[in-house]
Amino acid sequence: MRRKSTRTRTVSRRKPRKKASLFSGKLLHFSIIGFFILLIIGLAYHYRNGLAYYFSFKSNKLSYEKAEAKRISDVRNYEVLKNHEGKAIGIDVSEFQGKIDWELVETIEGNYQIEFVVIRATAGNDKADGQFETNWLGAKKRKIIRGAYHYYRPNENSLEQAQLFIKTVHLHKGDLPPILDIEKLPKEQSLTNLKLGLKRWLKVVEAHYKVKPIIYTGEKYYDDFLKEEFSDYLFWIANYNFYRETMDDHWLFWQFTEKATIPGIKGNVDANIFNGDSEQLGFITIE
């Protein structure tokens, strides 16, 4: 008698697919949201002084002009000034600010005393600033330490530029040393010739006023083109970046914003910090 063959049926079992975890998806989502909330809270805490100023003092108490639209730069400006309490604060102006009411020029952002002003005198080899004489006398009447600067045009004769500045600016005891403003690269000459021209301007002006000039420029321009060959000069550095909140030790002046609010001056104004207090500022003036 034959046995019936029994076939064993093999059933293949599929491995169950892993279902996407609803919990892990939500966790990721909330983690991202949480990160940004913490970031905002951290920034708000960091700029708490500026924000308090922005939403209270500035909006309620500034009355010289119609209240301007609130700007995020105001928060940083206040924070920077707060970080440098005790250092001398000043501004720089030119004909672009129009006619200034010097009787009202007293503080920056309502709180910080203006202790110096730098005034554009000349530009290139043929341009005298239209408001220089008025601003020069206005600053003197307000008994604010004043300085004069020349805007250097790289493609124009450096000696002619120096002579124009000397002809225009008469410095006296208590004034800041002459200042050379260099911001542009040449289009019609080499970088070597640019540096040669700058050195000629500086030497001629120093010989006339018997004091070493100060050089104004942007931080990147300073690092890339001037840092090495002009290391025996003192520098006034411009940097408006939001992340920059303190000045470097080797800067004489720091122009930290081009959007300060000053009673007596319409529109935005460049604001600066001297790397020292008001007494130390007096030490670098002409004797």
- pLDDT tens across the length of the chain (287 residues): 444 444 444 445 555 555 545 556 666 766 777 676 776 665 555 554 444 444 433 434 444 343 443 457 788 898 999 999 999 999 999 999 999 999 999 999 788 999 999 999 999 999 999 999 999 999 999 999 999 999 999 999 999 999 999 999 999 999 999 999 999 999 989 999 999 999 999 999 999 999 999 999 999 999 999 999 999 999 999 999 988 989 999 999 999 999 999 999 999 999 999 999 999 999 999 99
Q: What is the spatial distance between Cα 192 and Cα 189, in angstroms, rounded to a whole number?
A: 8
Helix extents (H) in the chain: 22-46, 48-52, 58-61, 72-83, 132-141, 158-168, 191-209, 219-221, 278-283
Class of the CATH-defined domain 86-283: alpha beta
The answer to whether residues 263 and 142 touch, using CB atoms and an 8 Å cutoff, is no
| CA-closest candidate to residue 77, choices 242, 238, 213 | 242
The Cα angle at residue 36 between residues 35 and 41, in degrees rounded to 5: 100
Q: What is the spatial distance between Cα 200 and Cα 194, in angstroms, rounded to a whole number?
A: 10
Structure token pair of residue 71:
């700007």
In the chain, domain spans: 86-283
The answer to whether residues 208 and 226 touch, using CB atoms and an 8 Å cutoff, is no
Is pTM, for the whole model, over 0.85? no
| CA-closest candidate to residue 120, choices 109, 131, 110, 105 | 131
Q: Which residues are part of the catalytic machinery?
A: 92, 183
Half-sphere exposure of 26 (CA within 13 A, CB side): 3
